Each structure stands twice: as structure tokens, then as C-alpha cells.
């Protein structure tokens, strides 16, 4: 992505610029039932895998002395979370520092027309009071304005964990000056509607390995 004015490893994530044209769909394989529904490939699967491996290394270096409770935010976060945890386990296996990890899953539900997000429910997950005194790593697929994540963090902080870190595969560039930034993120992307690698549009495209930009035809086809 770099040599074409596409990206740089700005800060702690790969930055994909607004004028990045992406990759032609013809260069990759993807499920035939999505032919005609996508604009282009934004991030190929192989690059996601390599970047996730590096994030695992960074996390391991920062908090690898501790036992970690991984809190995966469903549904979109499950693929990134599974890959990230697998990489951390592999690194841990081959280092002097063995890291014990317990993975739990939560879903966030905000009341339908409520913009304030204050009434967000956290569904599932073991009793959150078990996070007291623990090192918590929240794993999310994509962070936009960060409002949801802030509400989740406030909820978890009530239980006084020892440490809390957030890893997100993607961060959307928004115009908000107070934009929230996770501790670890894979890619900073333009404000585009992306699908694939477990990111869905009305439950479709979870079986697409690459992260792609959906086109108008795809949006119309799968609109509910």
C-alpha cells in the first residue's frame, strides 16, 4: 500500500489515505455470490493477518507478564479476536513469558432510537464483577466515533480492573476532534462502509476474507 501514496505506519497503526484507490477485485479470489456487490478490496486478507501478528507482538511486549481476560465484542470482532489470540498464544509458547488468557464474549445493545447511548446494555459475558483486579483486553472490529467504546469502558471501570486496554482492527477517521483512539489498532481507514473479515452488512459478507468497500448495488441487494 505504501509505494502508491496509499499508507504509512503513522502512530501505532497503518494509515490508509483518503485517495487510496484500493485493489481491483480481479486480483483476488472472493465468494462468487458477492460478484457485482463490491467496489474494490481495501485491505487484502494476507495484510490483515500480517498486521494482526504484529499487534499480537506489541500486546505481548506491553502486557505479556500478566494473565489477561480478553473481552471480545460480538459479532464483528470474533474473527479478529480469534486470530489475535492465536498469535499471542503462539508468541507466548515460544517465549520465556507464558501468558494465560481467558476469552469472554459480550454484545452491546443500544436502545433502538436512543442517540445518547447511555442506556447501552452489555449482554452476555460472565459476571463483569469477575474483572475486578484483572488485566482486561477489549477486542473490537471497528471504532468510529468511539462513543460506544467509551460507554463500555465506563461500565467496566466500575468493577476496578487492574488494567484495561483496547485493541481494534480498524479505526475510522472521523471529523470529531475528541475522536477516541484505542491502545492498539491495525488500520486507520477513511470514513467508508466496509465489509468482510466478519464485518457485515445486515448479516451478509461475514464469509468474505478481505476487507472491501460495498457498492450501491450491494447495499440495495441486502437492504432489510
pLDDT in tens, 47-94: 999 999 999 999 988 886 778 999 999 888 889 999 999 999 888 887
CA distances from 213 to 138, 190, 205 (A): 26, 11, 11
| pLDDT for 177 | 60
Query: What is the share, in percent, of the chain residues with pLDDT greater than 90?
Result: 56
Residue 88: which domain range?
A: 2-221
Residue 15 has pLDDT above 90, yes or no: yes
Work out the average pLDDT over 17-45. 96
| pLDDT for 165 | 94
Query: What is the share, in percent, of the chain residues with pLDDT greater than 70?
Result: 87
Work out the average pLDDT over 118-147. 83
Q: What is the CATH number of the domain that holds 54?
A: 3.40.50.2020
What distance, in Å, lies between the first and last C-alpha atoms of the chain?
34
| pLDDT for 176 | 66
CB 71 within 8 A of CB 139: yes
| pLDDT for 5 | 43
Question: What's the domain count of the chain?
Answer: 1
Residue 101 has pLDDT above 50, yes or no: yes
**pLDDT tens figures, 143-196:** 988 888 888 898 899 999 999 999 999 999 876 666 688 999 999 999 999 999
The model's pTM is 0.87
Which helix (H) or strand (E) element contains residue 135?
A: strand 135-143
CA angle 165/86/47 to nearest 5° reads 85
| pLDDT for 76 | 80
pLDDT higher at 2 or 71: 71
Amino acid at each position: 500500500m505504501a509505494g502508491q501514496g496509499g499508507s504509512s505506519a503513522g502512530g501505532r497503526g497503518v494509515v490508509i489515505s483518503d485517495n487510496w484507490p484500493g485493489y481491483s477485485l480481479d486480483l483476488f479470489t472472493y465468494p462468487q455470490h458477492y460478484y457485482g456487490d463490491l467496489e474494490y478490496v481495501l485491505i487484502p486478507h494476507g495484510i490483515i493477518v500480517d498486521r494482526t501478528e504484529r499487534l499480537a507482538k506489541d500486546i505481548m511486549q506491553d502486557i505479556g507478564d500478566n494473565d489477561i481476560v480478553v473481552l471480545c465484542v460480538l459479532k464483528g470482532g470474533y474473527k479478529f479476536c480469534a486470530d489475535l489470540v492465536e498469535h499471542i498464544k503462539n508468541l507466548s509458547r515460544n517465549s520465556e513469558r507464558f501468558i494465560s488468557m481467558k476469552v469472554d464474549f459480550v454484545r452491546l445493545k443500544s436502545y433502538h432510537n436512543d442517540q445518547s447511548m447511555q442506556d447501552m446494555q452489555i449482554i452476555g459475558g460472565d459476571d463483569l464483577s469477575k474483572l475486578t483486579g484483572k488485566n482486561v483486553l477489549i477486542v473490537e472490529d471497528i471504532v468510529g466515533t468511539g462513543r460506544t467504546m467509551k460507554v463500555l469502558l465506563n461500565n467496566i471501570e466500575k468493577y476496578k480492573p487492574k488494567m484495561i486496554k483496547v485493541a481494534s482492527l480498524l479505526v475510522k477517521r472521523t471529523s470529531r476532534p475528541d475522536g477516541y483512539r484505542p491502545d492498539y489498532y491495525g488500520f486507520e481507514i477513511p470514513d467508508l462502509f466496509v465489509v468482510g473479515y466478519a464485518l457485515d452488512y445486515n448479516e451478509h459478507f461475514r464469509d468474505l476474507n478481505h476487507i472491501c468497500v460495498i457498492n450501491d448495488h450491494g447495499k440495495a441487494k441486502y437492504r432489510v
